[in-house]
Protein backbone atom coordinates (compact mmCIF):
# COMPACT_ATOMS: atom_id res chain seq x y z
CA UNK A 1 0.00 0.00 0.00
CA UNK A 2 1.32 3.43 -0.91
CA UNK A 3 2.04 6.03 1.78
CA UNK A 4 -0.76 8.29 0.46
CA UNK A 5 -3.24 5.43 0.93
CA UNK A 6 -2.02 4.67 4.45
CA UNK A 7 -2.29 8.36 5.37
CA UNK A 8 -5.85 8.53 3.98
CA UNK A 9 -6.83 5.47 6.04
CA UNK A 10 -5.21 7.00 9.15
CA UNK A 11 -7.13 10.24 8.54
CA UNK A 12 -10.43 8.30 8.36
CA UNK A 13 -9.54 6.22 11.44
CA UNK A 14 -11.11 7.50 14.66
CA UNK A 15 -8.54 6.08 17.01
CA UNK A 16 -4.92 6.73 17.83
CA UNK A 17 -2.17 5.91 15.37
CA UNK A 18 1.59 5.65 15.63
CA UNK A 19 3.50 7.58 13.00
CA UNK A 20 6.90 5.95 12.49
CA UNK A 21 9.32 8.49 11.07
CA UNK A 22 12.26 7.91 8.76
CA UNK A 23 14.67 8.73 11.63
CA UNK A 24 13.15 5.87 13.69
CA UNK A 25 11.28 8.09 16.15
CA UNK A 26 7.56 7.59 16.72
CA UNK A 27 4.68 9.94 17.47
CA UNK A 28 1.51 8.44 18.96
CA UNK A 29 -1.78 10.30 18.84
CA UNK A 30 -4.81 11.29 16.82
CA UNK A 31 -4.21 12.22 13.17
CA UNK A 32 -6.85 14.83 12.34
CA UNK A 33 -5.60 16.56 9.19
CA UNK A 34 -3.52 15.97 6.08
CA UNK A 35 -2.68 18.06 3.03
CA UNK A 36 -1.20 16.18 0.11
CA UNK A 37 -1.63 19.19 -2.21
CA UNK A 38 0.71 21.49 -0.27
CA UNK A 39 4.16 22.26 -1.68
CA UNK A 40 5.48 20.04 1.13
CA UNK A 41 2.63 17.57 1.94
CA UNK A 42 2.07 17.03 5.68
CA UNK A 43 -0.15 15.46 8.34
CA UNK A 44 -1.23 17.05 11.61
CA UNK A 45 -1.97 15.27 14.85
CA UNK A 46 -2.43 15.69 18.58
CA UNK A 47 -0.25 13.51 20.79
CA UNK A 48 -1.61 11.35 23.63
CA UNK A 49 -1.44 14.29 26.05
CA UNK A 50 -3.41 16.51 23.66
CA UNK A 51 -0.40 18.63 22.72
CA UNK A 52 -0.35 19.97 19.22
CA UNK A 53 -1.14 20.30 16.53
CA UNK A 54 2.05 18.55 15.50
CA UNK A 55 2.86 18.83 11.79
CA UNK A 56 4.82 16.01 10.17
CA UNK A 57 5.90 16.22 6.51
CA UNK A 58 5.04 13.19 4.35
CA UNK A 59 8.75 12.95 3.53
CA UNK A 60 9.47 12.22 7.23
CA UNK A 61 6.94 9.36 7.48
CA UNK A 62 8.13 5.77 7.04
CA UNK A 63 4.81 4.14 7.98
CA UNK A 64 1.73 4.51 10.17
CA UNK A 65 0.47 1.84 12.56
CA UNK A 66 -3.13 1.74 13.76
CA UNK A 67 -2.45 1.27 17.46
CA UNK A 68 -5.57 2.62 19.16
CA UNK A 69 -9.13 1.37 19.15
CA UNK A 70 -11.34 3.02 16.51
CA UNK A 71 -13.93 4.75 18.71
CA UNK A 72 -16.50 4.64 15.93
CA UNK A 73 -16.03 1.01 14.90
CA UNK A 74 -19.43 -0.63 14.62
CA UNK A 75 -21.21 2.69 15.09
CA UNK A 76 -22.45 3.13 11.55
CA UNK A 77 -26.08 3.92 10.84
CA UNK A 78 -26.56 0.35 9.57
CA UNK A 79 -25.21 -1.06 12.86
CA UNK A 80 -27.48 1.28 14.85
CA UNK A 81 -30.51 0.24 12.80
CA UNK A 82 -29.75 -3.48 13.28
CA UNK A 83 -29.45 -2.97 17.05
CA UNK A 84 -32.71 -1.01 17.15
CA UNK A 85 -34.56 -3.68 15.16
CA UNK A 86 -33.16 -6.45 17.38
CA UNK A 87 -34.26 -4.59 20.51
CA UNK A 88 -37.74 -4.00 19.05
CA UNK A 89 -38.05 -7.70 18.20
CA UNK A 90 -37.20 -8.63 21.81
CA UNK A 91 -39.61 -6.13 23.37
CA UNK A 92 -42.60 -5.51 21.13
CA UNK A 93 -44.93 -2.83 22.44
CA UNK A 94 -48.14 -4.26 23.85
CA UNK A 95 -51.23 -3.48 21.83
CA UNK A 96 -49.35 -1.88 18.98
CA UNK A 97 -50.14 -2.72 15.40
CA UNK A 98 -46.88 -3.33 13.48
CA UNK A 99 -48.51 -1.93 10.33
CA UNK A 100 -50.37 1.21 11.35
CA UNK A 101 -52.94 2.53 8.91
CA UNK A 102 -52.37 5.78 7.07
CA UNK A 103 -55.95 6.98 7.44
CA UNK A 104 -59.24 5.99 5.87
In a domain, 19, yes or no: yes
Q: Please give the pLDDT value at position 68.
A: 78
In a domain, 102, yes or no: no
In a domain, 61, yes or no: yes
pLDDT single digits (tens) 60-93: 999 999 997 766 666 667 777 888 888 888 876 6
In a domain, 95, yes or no: no
Domain span at 71: 3-88
In a domain, 37, yes or no: yes
SS3 of the chain: CCHHHHHHHHHHCCCCEEEEECCCCEEEEEEEEEECCCCCCEEEEEECCCCCCEEEEHHHEEEEECCCCCCCCCCCHHHHHHHHHHHHHHCCCCCCCCCCCCCC
pLDDT single digits (tens) 4-48: 999 999 998 888 999 999 999 999 999 999 999 999 999 999 999
In a domain, 99, yes or no: no
CATH at 22: 2.30.30.100
In a domain, 80, yes or no: yes
Q: How many domains does the chain have?
A: 1
Amino acid sequence: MLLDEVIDKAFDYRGNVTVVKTDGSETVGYLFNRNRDAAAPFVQMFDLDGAGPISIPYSDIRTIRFTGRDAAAGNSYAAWLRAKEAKAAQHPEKGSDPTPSRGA
